[in-house]
Structure 1
Amino acid sequence: MKSPKGALDIVLRLLVAGALAIDATVHLQLAAYYQLAVPAGIGQGTLFRIEATIAILVGLYVLVRGSRPAYAAAVIVAGGGVFLVLLYRYVNVPAFGPVPAMYEPVWYFQKSLSAIAEAAGAVLALLGLLKPRPRGGHG
């Protein structure tokens, strides 16, 4: 039988992976609608697909390992996602290099859902990253 701490760890892993799965699903659903590219650049849809792939891989990493590096990766992916959605919502960042301008000064359901999932995932992953670990042995 799992200890309460073991059960909490499993719940935390599932919540972080679930948040990343919501993030990935929304980005994959929206990717086709955002595929306009700057000349010789990367389309926003391609960036959405890349972000979704990374979120899926990191979510699986958290599920399988639940280690500090896994939670750190989840903090970076989810935290970076919520940072970027807020940046491009409130700041008109011009295109730079191959990256298109992605300013979109509106909120809609899927965008809000993704931002909430990213924020929750980042906070939960931070909790996983900072939680005390047993010293030595298998604990």
Structure 2
Amino acid sequence: MSVPASRAAPTRGRGRDVGLRALTAVALLVDAAVHLHLAPGYQAGSPQGIGQGTLFLLESAAAALAALAVLLRGSRAAYAFALLVALSAFAAVVLYRYVDLPAFGPFPAMYEPVWYFEKAASAGAEGAGAVLAGVGLARTRTRYRAPAR
């Protein structure tokens, strides 16, 4: 007995969706782990504002939360949050690698004109996470459209 196409359609891409969710979460968890590992070494920030180590801890928490949301929900909101976290972190690491921005408001100057293993691993994971979250966001938009009649 064959399953009608209307019932088979929701499960057709389930394996790809689970894989996409897992890969997105792994990328975000690598980002979170690297930032958590590096935070103590960057803790000596500006006395009046937010230190770079504190920003690293906040990034780590946001990335871990986004990974959890993508794994558990896989919704448009989860992928949008993951995209925001990964893309903003990727943009920040690339910006502060190549541009010497001064301290502004409560944020310290974070210019660091070198690449080292953890920084490159974090940037790679953030870039991959942003791409994967973007794909997930696009897939959730098309997956829930009503069928054309």
- Counterpart of 1:18 in structure 2 is 26
- In the alignment, residue 134 of structure 1 is paired with which amino acid? Y
Q: Aligned to 1:53, which of 61, 68, 73?
A: 61
- Please list, as runs of the form range in 1=range in 2, the aligned pairs for 1:32-111 lying within 5 A after superposition: 32-111=40-119
- Counterpart of 2:3 in structure 1 is none
- In the alignment, residue 73 of structure 2 is paired with which amino acid? R
Aligned-residue sequence identity (percent) comes to 57
Runs of 4 or more above 2 Å deviation? none
- Counterpart of 1:134 in structure 2 is 144
Give the unaligned 5+ runs of structure 1. Answer: none
SS of residue in 1 equivalent to 2:105: coil
The alignment yields a C-alpha RMSD, in angstroms, of 1.5
| Residue 115 of structure 1, CA deviation | 0.2
SS of residue in 1 equivalent to 2:33: helix
| Residue 44 of structure 1, CA deviation | 0.5
CA distance in 1, matches of 2:98, 2:70: 31
- Using structure 1 for the length normalisation, give the TM-score: 0.93
Deviations along 1:35-72, whole A, 9 cap, x unmatched? 11113111110100010001001110000110111111
| Residue 4 of structure 1, CA deviation | 4.4
CA distance in 2, matches of 1:103, 1:134: 43
- Using structure 2 for the length normalisation, give the TM-score: 0.87
Give the unaligned 5+ runs of structure 2. Answer: 1-9
- In the alignment, residue 119 of structure 2 is paired with which amino acid? K
SS of residue in 1 equivalent to 2:13: helix
